């Protein structure tokens, strides 16, 4: 009987260790997905502009906060950026931290950004800060932001 109990204990210990490794592997996979999505988002902003990038990566219920207002939905967010953009302005960012829920359906990132504008004299001005984005996995498996 002692041998059976010892054997079952070893099996349970082995199985619990396998589950932990799988969970860790999944978490790292999801973090890599978010890192890639952040990079795609940033790259699209450089190539096509903020309006296109924010509209593409916003979830249907995604929001941004601008001028004390909450702007919701991809089209409204894209329209806001189209109406507010100025020639020569750029926004670049890179996450310093990424975390994903244990279920793999929500994530958040934060890190540094650089917002560059050109004044009326043609002088570039850089503003730096910290961004925070909340991501939600969509039914098709893609990631879209719900808060930026």
CATH number at residue 124: 3.10.450.50
Separation of alpha carbons 126 and 29, rounded Å: 34
Residue 4 maps to a domain: no
> Looking at the whole model, is its pTM more than 0.95?
no
User: What's the domain range around 94?
Assistant: 31-147
- Each residue of 78-100: pLDDT tens digit? 999 999 878 889 999 999 999 99
Q: Taking Cα atoms as reference points, which of 90, 100, 81 lies closest to residue 28?
A: 100
Q: Is residue 18 part of a domain?
A: no
CA distance linking residue 133 with residue 50, whole number of Å: 15
Q: Would you state the pLDDT for residue 7?
A: 53
The answer to whether residue 100 sits within a structural domain is: yes
**What is the side-by-side strand order in the sheet with 106-118?**
69-72, 58-66, 143-147, 124-137, 106-118, 90-100
Q: Is 57 a member of any domain?
A: yes
**Number of domains into which the chain is organized:** 1
Any idea which residue has 């890179």 for tokens?
94
Q: Does 1 map to a domain?
A: no
Q: Quick check: is 26 in a domain? A: no
Q: Is the pLDDT of residue 18 over 60?
A: no
Query: CA 35 to CA 132: how far, in whole Å?
Result: 13
């Amino acid at each position: 009987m002692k041998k059976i109990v010892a054997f079952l204990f070893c099996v349970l210990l082995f199985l619990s260790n396998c589950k932990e490794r799988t969970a860790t592997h999944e978490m790292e996979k999801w973090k890599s997905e978010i890192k890639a999505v952040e990079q795609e988002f940033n790259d699209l902003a450089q190539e096509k502009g903020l309006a296109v990038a924010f509209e593409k990566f916003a979830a249907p219920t995604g929001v941004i906060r601008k001028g004390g207002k909450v702007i919701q939905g991809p089209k409204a967010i894209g329209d806001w950026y189209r109406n507010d953009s100025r020639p020569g302005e750029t926004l670049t960012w890179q996450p310093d931290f990424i975390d994903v829920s244990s279920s793999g359906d929500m994530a958040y990132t934060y890190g540094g950004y650089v917002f560059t504008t050109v004044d009326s004299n043609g002088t570039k001005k850089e503003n730096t800060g910290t961004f925070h984005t909340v991501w939600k996995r969509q039914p098709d498996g893609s990631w879209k932001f719900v808060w930026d």
